[in-house]
Amino acid sequence: MAGVLVLAEARRDELREVSLELLTAARELKDHAGGRLAVAVAARDPAAYADALNVEGVDEVLTVATQSEHFDAHV
pLDDT at 71 (0 to 100): 61
Q: What's the mean pLDDT in 59-70?
A: 87
Provide the b/e sequence for 18-47 (b: ≥16 CB within 10 Å).
ebeebbeebbeebeeeeeebbbebbbeebe
Give the number of other CB atoms < 10 A from CB of residue 7: 13
Name the pTM for this structure. Answer: 0.85
Find out whether 59 and 31 touch, Cβ atoms under 8 Å. no
pLDDT in tens, 7-16: 999 888 889 9
State the pLDDT confidence band at 5, using cuts at 50, 70 and 90. Answer: very high
